[in-house]
Amino acid sequence: MTNFDILRKNLENNGFAVSTFATAEQAADYLVEKLAGKGIAHGGSMTLDQMGLLDRLEQTSTLYRHRPGADPAASMGAPVFICSVNGLAETGEIINIDGACNRVSSTMFGREEVYLVVGKNKIAPDYDAALWRARNIAAPLNAKRLNRKTPCAVKGDKCYNCNSPERICRALTVLWKKPMTIKHAEVILIDQDLGC
């Protein structure tokens, strides 16, 4: 099992609760039990899809399923928000890039509880490396997956800081500390590669 001790300490020092799991299945078991009966919104996430988490939450919670073309505002009243991140620095900074920005805004304001589910492949040694990862690994792979007409989607190799109308990178957020009005923010660390 990866030693998450330094990352845990830094995240806890920033006001986040931290839970660690060896497998995605164990993490999903934990979240399904913890969130049973609650109203949940979520961000688009390969991590959550690979875990099969949304299908399970749909059975036990009121899940506002985010589908392509759906109005993100429909889930604004849900008190719980769950998503992944694009880069997580071992020094504690949490980085996300978004296009519609419903995902990044929900990690910062308007929810009572926020859960950030992170596979070990998203972890980088420091802020600069996590930022580089978010921009040059996560975003191009997401653009490719979404079939966007952007230079990065052709090869999925790096960010070209494009001016494409289909650019998916419209905002970058860094969570330094737990946002003030979020009552409970928890990082779920999983010792597996998940998402991109």
Q: Which 107-136 positions form the footprint of ligand SF4 (CB under 6 A)?
A: none
Site string for ligand SF4, 42-81 (x = CB under 6 A): ----------------------------------------
Least Å from the CB of residue 170 to ligand SF4: 9
User: In terms of CB distance, is 111 or 135 closer to ligand SF4?
Assistant: 135
Structure tokens of 70? 């759906």
2 binds ligand SF4 (CB under 6 A): no
Least Å from the CB of residue 44 to ligand SF4: 15
User: In terms of CB distance, is 92 or 151 closer to ligand SF4?
Assistant: 151
150 binds ligand SF4 (CB under 6 A): yes
Residues that bind ligand SF4 (CB under 6 A): 139-140, 143, 150-152, 159-162, 164, 167-169
